[in-house]
Amino acid sequence: MFLKMNKTMLLMAAFFALWPFSLIARSFDDVFPYIGTDKKAEAFAEDGIIRSLGKGESFELNPAPSSGIDLQARIMQKAHEHLTESLLVVPYAGRALNVVDAYNSLGKVRSLKGRLYHSHTRNADIPLFEEATRLESAKRTNTPVPDPAPVSAIPANESIYIKLKDVNFGNSYYRADISQNGYGLVYSLTNFKSLTYLLFTVMKEEKFSAFLYLEPIDEGMLVYAVAGTEVSNFIENRIDIPSAISKRLAVFIDWISEGVREQK
């Protein structure tokens, strides 16, 4: 009996270790069958699509109901007022990548430092994050930890903690939850501390959310994302919130794209 149980456990462990490699890749049209020709071309362009939703507007980048991708439902549960959606396909530079490569592309938190965005106020491209590091935990925010080495097998679920020194908002703190989801991975990002601007609280903790989905498809690495936030009327009247979300989401997607291209 003991040997049978051990054998069963080994088979289960082998299954989950090989899971990312066992699924046949889907095509872009399998996942996003309702995307028109022009938007599809934009998704395959270098910067992809980033779209802020106006009040009362609906998402336009809609995965197939059968795709198993539920990011829109996740973000709507947060009841955020300001929403953004994004879609990009990063072509493979060499070999076709897999879900482990997708996971490894998310590993270099420190490389978020120095990524540029265009500041209309300064009329220049400037670094958005002056510092970027992993933290030991949500309670030990002054204890940085190094980025991990690439892995050959991925955990079913993982949470990491990140500190970013934002050029506009100073230190910001996020929890990133990484989980397997069907054919790909979901990387969810939430602020676990309030974000301040000068002497004002821009948003309270847990009031910013971003969900990014990575899936290796036939044409490249699919990166689909939705993000949203909730702020006070006082802040909303002083900061262009849709622009602020879009710029930060664009920097994260650029970071992911570079991580994907580095996978050999």
pLDDT tens across 217-230, in order?
999 999 999 999 99
| Structural domain of 194 | 2-108+149-155+179-261
Place of tokens 């498809």: 217
Closest C-alpha to 179, from 162, 155, 161 = 155
Number of domains in the chain: 1
The pTM of the full predicted model, rounded to 2 decimals, is 0.89
35-57 residue pLDDT tens:
999 999 999 999 999 999 988 89
Q: What is the distance between the alpha carbons of residues 212 and 226, in angstroms, rounded to a whole number?
A: 7
Q: What is the distance between the alpha carbons of residues 264 and 262, in angstroms, rounded to a whole number?
A: 6
In this predicted structure, the answer to whether residue 23 has a pLDDT above a threshold of 80 is no
Q: Cβ of 104: how many Cβ atoms within 10 Å?
A: 21
Across the strands, what pairs with 127? 116
225 assigned to some structural domain: yes
173 assigned to some structural domain: no
92-145 residue pLDDT tens:
988 999 999 999 999 999 999 999 998 888 888 999 999 999 999 999 888 999
143-169 residue pLDDT tens:
999 999 999 999 989 999 999 999 988
198 assigned to some structural domain: yes
88 assigned to some structural domain: yes
3-state secondary structure of 255: helix
3-state secondary structure of 201: strand
47 assigned to some structural domain: yes
9 assigned to some structural domain: yes
128 assigned to some structural domain: no
Structure-model confidence comparison of residues 14 and 180, the more confident one: 180
165 assigned to some structural domain: no
Q: pLDDT value at position 3?
A: 47
In this predicted structure, the answer to whether residue 194 has a pLDDT above a threshold of 70 is yes
